[in-house]
Structure 1
Amino acid sequence: MRAVCEFEVIDESPDWIVVSKPAPLAVHPANGKVEPTLLGGLEALLAAELAGGGRLSILTRLDRETSGLVLIAKNPEAARELGGQLARRSAHKEYEAIVHGWPEWDERQVDEPILRAGEAGESAIWLRQRVHPDGRACCTGFKVAARFSREGAAFARMICFPLTGRTHQIRAHLEHVGHPLVGDKIYGTAGEAYLAQFEDRLTPEIEARLMLPRQALHARALGVEWRGAELRWECPLPPDLARFFEGTDLAQKHG
């Protein structure tokens, strides 16, 4: 996938803006790469406000291969208020995922600490997280929305509720319960696809095993309180993930 700086403005006020970020657009510049980023696009879009003293703070960061809602504060006051709600876990966040296998449960909560895999042993991937008793507290709720099959393999559409804000927590917890994301290049495998992509040697065979060019994770809903009002934004499943789900035989669906 090639990143382009295209995103949709969902809602906006003088203090904040909510956008829908596509995959594989990076949120911030990383590793010295010169590439389109959400931050760069926002700085261009809001140039007049920034010239007048505004300052952007991206509050709900997403991995480059995760799509969906991102909340950005336009000034320090909004950053403190909205960031405080996220830190206190009073903000509401929902993600939608497509995972391998059919869970034997319909709903469950995973309350397992995670840390960088390299802190617990050798790891070729610095970003990788893993469940470990010495890690930081981490809690994610899961609900199965549908079970379906595709080309003889079992998959599930999952709603995820991250109650903490740890790096990769949804992905690490899904791997821990045996249902990693479809298309995930780090979790659910030894990370061969991630290393191959990083070293520019991603082959058609590796891509075929992934089944999707990016991980099947989407930030679909976000809710906060602002100036005494409850605000909620939603963003439907993007076409690439919808096609993967809709082109299948449905086994079971929940409300």
Structure 2
Amino acid sequence: MMNQAVSFFDLHDSRVNIADPYDHEYHVKVPKVFCGITIDEYYSKRFPYKTRDLWMKSIEEGRVRINGLPITPDTVIQPEAIIDSLVYDIREPPINVSWNVLFEDEYLYIIDKPGHLPVHPTGRFYKHSFLQIMMDRDPGWKIHVMHRLDVETSGILIVGKTKEAASAFFKIFKNKEIQKEYKALVRGAFPKEGIIVDGPLGKSINSTISVKMEVNGVDNKEAISKYELLELRENGTSLIKCIPITGRTNQLRAHIEHAGFPILGDKIYCKDDSIFHDYHEDGETESLKKKLILNRQALHAYKVSFIHPFTKEQMTIESDFPDDINYFGEV
């Protein structure tokens, strides 16, 4: 019997630290969307997981420059600006470094990515990423990741072993010759007939989370998702199948929240912005754990189907829904 003092959140936590604290100097060309705002606003919007006081201190100490020149918090970012920033004692969040290989040949390396593993260096993760780990293991191997999976999303990740394989696979994705299916555990009793959400996605107008997408948001693009019920659970949750018809950022998560069935454990698409902000300001407090229940969002890329671009074999790769998000307890 499970020790009642140990929450489901902690019981399935397999994250570890693999990188020692380090100093690093970043050189970033500012995206056009941030031109015309102050450096203070830029850091607040682009890096919401850092407190404003930390950035202000870095600026005051001269560790942030634009085009090599010292700045003040009210310096306005101009087009083509390059920000240089020296950051001390960087401590990256722990990650899950255990993955299974589902398929491998001379062209492809397909893994079952665990949750809490960034694919690329992003946000708070630099050394803690799948690509960096692979480069450290074999510096001579240039790998090519074929598609996105969020940090917390688990499941099938397709990697090309050669430039030729990457080029062939990008064509498959571009021509929509690959079928991807996900499973998710959502709050609420999902309708037996399933739903289709046809709503263009853009940057959120109504949220205080700068990275959040929403239906009819700013600069929205066509987005269509299909959802099917797999299992109604007695705890008030539903296991569903999710099929992205288009491929927008955070599409499945944004659409299912819009439909009224947020994914369990999702810190952004949960109808409560304070969860995201509390997480980035105070970490995984006991109060936050009770709200989230799971230590990551319950979304898993469980199936892909495609014709192998070189062998012409029909490929169908599947992955089981993982234990760390397969929750039957009280919600």
TM-score with structure 2 setting the length: 0.66
Cα distance 1:35–1:196, how it changes in 2: closer, same or farther (>3 A)? Answer: farther
Match of 1:135 in 2: 220
Shift of 1:122: 5.5
Aligned pair partner of 1:85 in 159, 165, 172: 172
CA offset digits 1:90-109 (Å, max 9, x no partner): 20101000000012342222
The answer to whether the aligner puts 1:147 opposite 2:239 as a matched pair is: no
Task: Among all aligned residue pairs of Structure 1 and Structure 2, give the percentage whose two residues are the same amino acid.
Answer: 29
Partner secondary structure for residue 64 of structure 1: coil
Aligned pair partner of 2:203 in 116, 120, 123: 116
Amino acid aligned to 1:188: C
Match of 2:18 in 1: none
Amino acid aligned to 2:174: A
Shift of 1:26: 1.1
Partner secondary structure for residue 171 of structure 1: helix
Match of 1:236 in 2: 320
Stretches of 4+ aligned residues off by more than 6 angstroms:
none
The answer to whether the aligner puts 1:188 opposite 2:270 as a matched pair is: yes
Partner secondary structure for residue 98 of structure 1: strand
Q: Hey, what's the Cα distance between the residues in 2 that align with 1:155 and 1:230?
A: 35
The answer to whether the aligner puts 1:41 opposite 2:133 as a matched pair is: yes
Q: Hey, what's the Cα distance between the residues in 1 that align with 2:298 and 2:104?
A: 27
Whether contact under 8 Å (2:110, 2:156) holds in the other structure is yes
**Cα RMSD after superposing both structures:** 1.9
Amino acid aligned to 1:213: N
Shift of 1:37: 1.2
Match of 1:253 in 2: none
Aligned pair partner of 2:112 in 7, 20, 29: 20
Partner secondary structure for residue 206 of structure 1: helix
Q: Hey, what's the Cα distance between the residues in 1 that align with 2:303 and 2:292?
A: 26
Match of 2:159 in 1: 72
Whether contact under 8 Å (1:4, 1:36) holds in the other structure is no
Aligned pair partner of 2:146 in 56, 59, 64: 59
Match of 1:206 in 2: 288
Aligned pair partner of 1:9 in 101, 104, 114: 101
Aligned pair partner of 2:261 in 143, 157, 179: 179
Shift of 1:88: 2.1
Match of 1:168 in 2: 250
Amino acid aligned to 1:208: K
Partner secondary structure for residue 205 of structure 1: helix
Shift of 1:32: 5.6
Q: Could you list the runs of 5+ residues in structure 2 that have no partner in the other structure?
A: 1-12, 16-94
Shift of 1:157: 0.3
Amino acid aligned to 1:140: S
Match of 2:303 in 1: 221
For the pair shown, the structure with the greater C-alpha radius of gyration is 2
Amino acid aligned to 2:132: G
How many residues of Structure 1 are paired with residues of Structure 2 in the alignment? 235
- Structure with more relative contact order (C-alpha pairs < 8 Å, separation 6 or more): 1
Whether contact under 8 Å (2:154, 2:299) holds in the other structure is yes
Q: Hey, what's the Cα distance between the residues in 2 that align with 1:32 and 1:171?
A: 21
Aligned pair partner of 2:121 in 18, 23, 29: 29
Whether contact under 8 Å (1:193, 1:202) holds in the other structure is no
